[in-house]
């Protein structure tokens, strides 16, 4: 076996990517709970994606309070609690595993691979993870907001490898190409594979954020089932 571990991205890979309309609808609901106009709230929210996902803004209540303040409104503690509850409810729905996600991870575990997860996310995701059916199959989950570093920074991949006790060059990485995650993985010697599911392309941040998804010249699969082919061969080349 050429590799000892497989590392997965979360959104767009093991769970579906979030559509622009769904994401905007969440912001509308949260801003309503905070009594903040959606326009200023959404502007402030999108301006702080790095600060949220790197953990700089702290826990959920701190994120919501600071974002509302940036939008010109000081929210009450009750409003912040309602906004937090809405955010968590929405995140829980978004974490529904993609079809074949459980089976795919199970196939790698059965074949003797260690399994890791590396996700750029903010503080709403880690509290939801233990109840997710994928959590029982993932040996090491690494969330950017918890460790203070985001893909494609080498440190987040190295953190996962250290926790799994494997070398980067002994890892296979699968992701949908956001945040230059494939480039980051490959730079450390991992074999990186792009999951590009037809009909799920989106550029709701910008083309820089999606650069790997748009330009990846390495291995590409269109369905999680295709990944299990790796179990019968030693390389995607």
Crossing angle of helices 77-94 and 60-70, rounded to 10°: 110
How many Å separate Cα 1 from the centre of its chain? 27
pLDDT string in tens for the chain (237-residue length): 589 999 999 999 999 988 889 999 999 999 999 999 999 999 999 999 999 999 999 999 999 999 999 999 999 999 999 999 999 999 999 999 999 999 999 999 999 999 999 999 999 999 999 999 999 999 999 999 999 999 999 999 999 999 999 999 999 999 999 999 999 999 999 999 999 988 876 555 555 667 888 889 999 999 998 988 777 665 544
How many Å separate Cα 219 from the centre of its chain? 20
pLDDT, residue 237, reads 45
- Total number of domains constituting the chain: 2
In a shared domain, residues 199 and 212: yes
pLDDT, residue 19, reads 86
237 DSSP β-pair partners: none
| 109: in domain | yes
Q: Is the pTM of this model over 0.85?
A: yes
In a shared domain, residues 117 and 204: yes
How many angstroms separate the CA atoms of 220 and 197, rounded? Answer: 10
pLDDT, residue 205, reads 52
In a shared domain, residues 186 and 169: yes
Looking at 70, 94, 118, the residue that finishes a domain is 94
In a shared domain, residues 139 and 76: no
Which of 11, 2, 57 has the alpha carbon at shortest distance from 179? 11
In a shared domain, residues 76 and 12: no
* Whole-Å CA distances, 95 to 4, 10, 121, 133, 201: 26, 9, 12, 10, 18
Looking at 69, 94, 119, the residue that finishes a domain is 94
In a shared domain, residues 46 and 104: no
| 111: in domain | yes
| 237: in domain | no
In a shared domain, residues 29 and 143: no
In a shared domain, residues 79 and 162: no
In a shared domain, residues 59 and 101: no
Number of DSSP helices (H) and strands (E) in the chain, helices first: 11, 6
Looking at 74, 94, 114, the residue that finishes a domain is 94
Q: Are 7 and 174 in contact (CB under 8 A)?
A: yes
Look at the chain and count its residues: 237
pLDDT, residue 207, reads 58
Identify the CATH number of the domain in which residue 117 sits. Answer: 3.40.50.1000
In a shared domain, residues 40 and 10: no
Which residue segment(s) compose the domain that 170 sits in?
5-16+96-232
| 130: in domain | yes
| 193: in domain | yes
């Amino acid at each position: 076996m050429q590799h000892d571990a497989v590392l997965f991205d979360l959104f767009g890979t093991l769970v579906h990517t979030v559509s622009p309309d769904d994401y905007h609808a969440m912001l509308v609901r949260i801003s309503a709970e905070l009594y903040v106009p959606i326009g200023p709230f959404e502007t402030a929210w999108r301006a702080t994606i790095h600060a949220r996902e790197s953990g700089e803004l702290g826990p959920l209540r701190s994120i919501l309070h600071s974002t509302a303040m940036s939008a010109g409104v000081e929210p009450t503690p009750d409003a912040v609690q309602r906004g937090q509850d809405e955010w968590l409810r929405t995140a829980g729905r978004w974490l529904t595993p993609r079809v074949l996600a459980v089976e795919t991870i199970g196939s790698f575990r059965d074949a003797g691979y260690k399994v890791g997860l590396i996700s750029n996310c903010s503080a709403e995701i880690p509290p939801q993870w233990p109840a997710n059916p994928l959590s029982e199959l993932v040996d090491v989950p690494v969330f950017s907001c918890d460790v203070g570093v985001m893909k494609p920074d080498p440190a987040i991949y190295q953190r996962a490898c250290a926790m799994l006790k494997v070398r980067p060059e002994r890892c296979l990485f699968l992701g949908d190409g956001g945040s230059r995650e494939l480039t980051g993985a490959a730079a450390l010697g991992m074999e990186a594979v792009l999951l590009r599911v037809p009909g799920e392309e989106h550029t709701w941040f910008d083309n820089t954020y999606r650069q790997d998804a748009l330009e990846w010249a390495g291995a590409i699969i269109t369905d999680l089932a295709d990944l299990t082919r790796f179990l019968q061969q030693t390389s995607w080349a």
